[in-house]
């Protein structure tokens, strides 16, 4: 099944939702500016960043999406747990993009503090949800130019 040129999958983590909702708002605004309507977007919420890759894989396997965007926030705690979560989320998201030849905008923050995460989700350091959406759009265009 060929992808609808307007269908987009967004997978967002509920963990640190105060951050991921801001990332999502940035991604949605960027997509709207690029001509994508609310009906073109499937937003699926998962519990945490670790769960993002399996949903991205399952969604891309349908062949229904021109690209996906992964949004999450992994914040350092007192143990190295965050490193394991961030590493596996990153690996799984990248694997999905390569396996399905479909762009996945990477908007999973890996920060030391909540303040850093808020700065990167619409604060002084911009909004990485915007960046993830722009990267996905641009990569989809590059693949289209290659005849994908």
Can you give the residue ranges of every domain in the chain? Answer: 8-120
Out of 58, 81, 99, 101, pick the active-site residue.
81
Residue that the structure tokens 């915007």 belong to: 130
pLDDT at 148: 55
pLDDT at 80: 83
Question: Integer distance in angstroms from the first to the last C-alpha of the chain?
Answer: 13
Supply 111's token pair. Answer: 């920060």
CB 55 within 8 A of CB 104: no
Strand 67-75 vs strand 8-13: parallel, antiparallel, or unpaired?
Answer: parallel
Nearest to 140 by CA among 104, 106, 91, 99: 104
Q: Among positive and negative, which fits the CA dihedral 3, 22, 49, 134?
A: positive
The model's pTM is 0.94
What confidence score (pLDDT) does residue 1 get? 42
The predicted pLDDT at position 6 comes to 84
| Residue 81: active-site member | yes
Domain 8-120 has CATH 3.40.50.960: yes
pLDDT tens-digit series, residues 89-120: 999 999 999 999 999 999 999 999 999 999 99
Residues of the chain scoring pLDDT < 70:
1-5, 148
Give me the residues paired with residue 105 across strands.
69
């Amino acid at each position: 099944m060929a992808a609808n040129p307007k269908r987009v999958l967004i997978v967002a983590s509920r963990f640190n939702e105060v951050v991921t909702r801001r990332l999502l708002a940035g991604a949605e605004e960027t997509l709207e500016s690029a001509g994508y309507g609310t009906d073109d977007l499937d937003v699926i919420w998962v519990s945490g960043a670790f769960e993002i890759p399996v949903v991205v894989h399952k969604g891309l396997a349908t062949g229904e999406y021109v690209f996906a965007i992964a949004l999450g926030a992994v914040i350092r705690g007192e143990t190295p747990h965050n490193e394991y979560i961030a590493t596996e989320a990153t690996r799984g998201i990248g694997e999905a993009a390569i396996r399905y030849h479909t762009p996945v905008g990477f908007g999973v923050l890996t920060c030391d503090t909540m303040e850093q995460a808020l700065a990167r989700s619409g604060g002084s350091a911009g909004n990485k949800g915007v960046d993830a959406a722009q990267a996905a759009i641009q990569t989809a265009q590059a693949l289209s130019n290659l005849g994908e």
